[in-house]
Amino acid sequence: MRVAFILKGYPRLSETFIAQEIAALERRGLDILIVSLRRPTDARRHRLHDTIRARVLYLPEYLLLEPLRVLRAWWKIRQIASYASARRLWLRDLARDPTPNRARRFGQALVLAAELPEDVKHLHAHFLHTPASVTRYAAALLGLPWTGSAHAKDIWTTPEWEKREKLASCEWLVTCTRANREHLAALAPPGKVELLYHGIDLARFPRNAAIGSARDGSSEPVVILLVARLVEKKGTEILLEALARISPALQWRFVHVGGGPLLKSLQGRAARLGIEERVTWRGALTQDEVLAEYRKADVFALASRIARDGDRDGLPNVIAEAQSQGLACVATRVSAIPELVRDGQTGILVPENDAEALARALESLIADPPRRRALGQAAQTRVREGFALEPNIDALARKFGVGSGAHRVLRTA
């Protein structure tokens, strides 16, 4: 069976969890077509993307830029029997959400339905918002089954009516945290929603034997790392406030990896707080470069919070990546983070939006190398035993009807 994976954008530096899933499913024998709602916006790509064999079909991001393509698709699809019912489905949604975005999704679905290769018999949407809308409309047009994977923002910013209807029409849906699963299962028919963690590809994040440095902030700065997009839900503003409250007797340096729309405002905030000389903004990096940053750091800190529009993290992959390298992590009790970080055992958890509590937690780790090492070792063991990629991918592969034993075994360090 050939399956079309509908993604918002491909390839994207910030979505390695999707790329590693596609690569792992291909190793198990699943034939995949990648359908992207937009062309790449990142100037760079991960080495992982080069291992993926799937062809990519790019849909028109803006319908007005490819009017003839959209018109040809409409002319072809309007002649099939299911067009009228699919159009009624879209019009009902449009009445509740009368936005240009809703119109665009139906136009993209028309192009997908018209250009989908005949051997593709199953559609799978990554994200429950716009990709699932295009997938649902295309599935209705073609009479094909569709399934989905839900993650974070797509769950918490989608209206309840829309989540209920999508969950009712898909065959099954997987999501990456227990908190997500409980929320979606309450809106879905019984048995529709299943928990499957993304997991860490231990072949790409091999065990770090050199856990923990002796730096204690007295003479040499302790390196605090954050890997995250600079958006509201990541709470980087709160983290900068916490860093500014750390005792002046302790030496530290903060390194940020990632891009995002809040970069300029956060750089300005660091300057106003008087800590800009201790902060390094590294920008977006490849996975290999990010791995090197994990191994140079002493502490990983993420101040996740619920954004004003309801958006929030699920279970941030960067925490699992950091813990796979033996980093002591400080994070907030938001969403599914406590499913991975056990407070006082594999990391430290603090309340969201609490810069003072975050500062005190960071201070305690800066000044205590043995505790950092103990937390990092415990975290590394927990990630490798409970959050490895392979068992979760095996379960997902079975849902697509491919065997778990059909993949090439990768050696891990």
What's the confidence (pLDDT) of residue 108? 98
By residue range, what is the domain housing residue 164?
2-199+388-406
Q: Is pTM beyond 0.85 here?
A: no
178 & 232 share domain: no
Which CATH number do you get for residue 376? 3.40.50.2000
Residues 6+ apart with CB under 8 A from 118: none
d(CA 108, CA 58): 10
167 & 247 share domain: no
133 & 274 share domain: no
238 & 167 share domain: no
Tell me if 212 is assigned to some domain.
Answer: no
d(CA 295, CA 318): 13
What's the confidence (pLDDT) of residue 212? 84
Residues of the chain with pLDDT under 70: 404-413
Tell me if 123 is assigned to some domain.
Answer: yes
Tell me if 54 is assigned to some domain.
Answer: yes
What's the confidence (pLDDT) of residue 204? 86
Q: Is-contact 293 255, C-beta < 8 A?
A: yes
Tell me if 288 is assigned to some domain.
Answer: yes
What's the confidence (pLDDT) of residue 42? 78
What's the confidence (pLDDT) of residue 413? 26
Q: Is-contact 354 361, C-beta < 8 A?
A: no
368 & 269 share domain: yes
d(CA 349, CA 356): 13
CA angle 329, 176, 143 (to 5 degrees): 160
The two tokens of residue 370 are 């043995």
228 & 352 share domain: yes
Tell me if 213 is assigned to some domain.
Answer: no
Tell me if 412 is assigned to some domain.
Answer: no
d(CA 50, CA 311): 31
396 & 382 share domain: no
38 & 166 share domain: yes
184 & 264 share domain: no
Count of structural domains, the chain: 2
Tell me if 209 is assigned to some domain.
Answer: no
76 & 132 share domain: yes
**For 336-372, what is each residue's pLDDT tens digit?**
999 999 999 999 999 999 999 999 999 999 999 999 9
226 & 156 share domain: no
d(CA 172, CA 192): 5
**For 292-346, what is each residue's pLDDT tens digit?**
999 999 999 999 999 999 999 988 999 999 999 999 999 999 989 999 999 999 9
373 & 399 share domain: no
Tell me if 136 is assigned to some domain.
Answer: yes
